[in-house]
Amino acid sequence: MLKATLLKAAGSAFLQRQVTANPIARRVADRFIAGNTLDEAEHAIRALNAGGMSVALDYLGENTESEAQARESTSSYLAAIDRIQDRGMDANISVKLTALGLDIRQELALEEASKVAARGKEVGAMVGVDMEAAIYAGRTLDIVEALKRDYDNVGVCVQSYLYRSRDDLDRLNRLGIPVRLVKGAYQESPEVAYPEKASVDHAYARMLDALLAHNPYPMVATHDPAMVRLTKTLVARHHRDRDTFEFQMLYGVRRDLQQQVVAEGYRLRVYLPYGTQWYPYFMRRLAERPANLYFFLSNLVKR
């Protein structure tokens, strides 16, 4: 119930104004968000690289309402790619198609995503496409498949809590598209998603086996130690070299586990968000783990 309440709050414009105006909330959000600017993001990337970690850089923003806004998002993504290339950082980028105009026209989102994919290909950087709410899943995969025809540097996220996702994973494996497997962080109806955590975990484990067996470059996104252990078991079973897959974790979440994975010699990429539109992302992080919510509330009490 608490998780559902927090996820619903992520879409509230009123609560967004209240929370983003609260300096304590902003301070707590800094645990999960690199800052407002690309300069601040660069500082965080360099610290993570120094710790042996790669980065997936995410410019925060979603659900743009005009073509001009979509093109502004594209410009921000291109600037991030150029900064990564110019400064020699170990990072790639992650994009949201609703930031590129998916709510306006699918063709617009494809056009803008193509610009980002093209620049990424020029510099040898992967462009990861985030999976958003379930209503966007089909259109997201159609755009990714279209991008695949011209660009071999595009990957996509798949969420295990959606009933459709096993079929989606099979489709992506056949197409040879790298997949980032997550459990899912949006509020969804039980008509389209598993409502119980145990079912989501079971679906994740089954999909993880198929991912590691058949995908060209699996990205295992989890903070669950059980899933980390299962990944190691499946990697051995499917005879995968460590340079053919990676773990992914979120900035500011389970740093102890991140350090452990790196110390054991596995690839780890940290999903690093930055930008002023941090409220929806922040609320989804609070909803995911009770420890995150406790951290937030305890800081409010200290005010």
Interstrand relation of 246-250 and 268-274 (parallel, antiparallel or unpaired): parallel
pLDDT at 301: 44
On whether the CB atoms of residues 255 and 295 are closer than 8 A, the answer is no
Tokens of 36: 């407002």
DSSP E strand stretches across 91-133: 91-95, 127-129
Q: Which domain holds residue 73?
A: 34-277
Distance (Å, whole) CA 151 – CA 143: 12
Catalytic residue among 103, 130, 168, 201: 130
What pTM did the predictor assign? 0.88
Q: Up-side HSE of residue 296: CA atoms within 13 Å toward CB? A: 21
DSSP 202-235: HHHHHHHHHHHHH-SS-EEE---HHHHHHHHHHH
User: Is position 288 within any domain?
Assistant: no
pLDDT at 7: 53
User: Is position 166 within any domain?
Assistant: yes
Tokens of 222: 């989890």
User: Is position 132 within any domain?
Assistant: yes
pLDDT at 273: 95
Mean pLDDT, 10 residues at a time, over the chain (303 residues)?
Answer: 57 65 72 92 97 97 94 97 96 97 98 98 96 97 97 97 98 98 90 95 97 98 96 97 97 94 98 86 70 53 46
**Is 254 in the active site?**
no
User: Is position 270 within any domain?
Assistant: yes
pLDDT at 186: 84
Which CATH number is 202's domain given? 3.20.20.220
As for how many domains the chain has, the answer is 1
User: Is position 123 within any domain?
Assistant: yes
User: Is position 3 within any domain?
Assistant: no
**Is 31 in the active site?**
no
Quick one: CA dihedral 66, 125, 135, 16, positive or negative? negative
User: Is position 17 within any domain?
Assistant: no
pLDDT at 177: 98
Alpha carbon 280 to chain centroid, angstroms: 13
Catalytic residue among 180, 254, 269, 285: 180
